[in-house]
Amino acid sequence: MSDSTFNPLPPWLKWLEACPSTNTWAIEHLAQLDHGTVVFTRHQTQGRGQHGRKWQSPPGVLTLSVVLDRLPAAQLPQFSLIAGLAVIYAIEDLIPRLQSQLCLKWTNDVWLYDRKLAGILCEGVTSGVTNRTKLVIGVGLNYQADFSSLEITSIKNPISLHEVVPIIPDEHFLIEKLRYYLLQLAGIMQSSVHSSQFSNLLSVVRERDALLGRFITIETSQEQISGEAIGIDDRGCLRLQLSDGTIRTFTSGHITFASQ
């Protein structure tokens, strides 16, 4: 996509030539950013992932952050999963041949053919003046990325859209679709009937659960424990069945597999 595709820029778009991290930039300027603002760059130099890990962004990775307002801070862990659905819906709208092929790896990755296509980082910032929380939803989508020449330690077995489809969608359309679905899903989370509608969203998440039935190891700040992933509970937590039959639930953690 040429730069002129975004000319003139829509009012909701902050397009940066380069920046260390779109999430960091958005948080630093959050007071001036409205609900639905998108911060986008083609050159992210110091991306961040979950648990303080670095997110490496070679050329061809679509990197953006979307600002969402009026969401309770308690919904932040749940929205990591819901944001993954927005990525899936955006891609499937523009690439119908990938329908039903995309999955969610709890808590914050989108997978295609058991390989990482996108990562999501949700961060909440509460104003001490207004006591309101804004969420910054960072998305790194492997769009037309070549990982072969890089030493990637933080991304296991990545895949890029251009590897699986002959014609990839224009960046502009992908950004608009991602923003559209994030706003739609945020609206559902804000709804007065949040409980039932979130249950409906969780049903869709469960249908896309890439971990279900797999033997995994989950690492938290306190422990490292292995077992069989047996699904996602009504709060969006991962359920793990240990070898002795005990069932544990986790709100966050780093997932690895025996082969890794």
Whether the ω angle into residue 169 lies within 30 degrees of 0, i.e. cis, is: no
Helices 171-190, 194-207: crossing angle, 10 deg rounding: 130
Tell me the two tokens of residue 50.
């979950």
Least confident of 5-9, 40-44, 208-212: 5-9
Average pLDDT, the chain: 87
Write out pLDDT tens, residues 135-145.
999 999 999 99
Q: Are 46 and 19 in contact (CB under 8 A)?
A: no
Domain ranges of the chain: 3-207, 215-257
Asked if CATH classification 2.30.30.100 holds for the domain at 215-257, the reply, yes or no, is: yes
Write out pLDDT tens, residues 216-251.
999 998 899 999 999 999 888 999 999 999 999 999
Write out pLDDT tens, residues 113-169.
999 999 999 998 876 665 667 899 999 999 999 887 665 545 678 999 999 999 999
Write out pLDDT tens, residues 4-30.
455 688 999 999 999 999 999 999 999
- CATH number belonging to the domain at 3-207, selected among 1.20.1070.10, 3.30.930.10, 3.60.20.10, 3.30.70.1230: 3.30.930.10
Three-class secondary structure of residue 27 per DSSP: helix
- Whether 54 shows a pLDDT value over 80: the answer reads no
Q: Percentage of residues in the chain with pLDDT exceeding 70? A: 84
pTM: 0.89
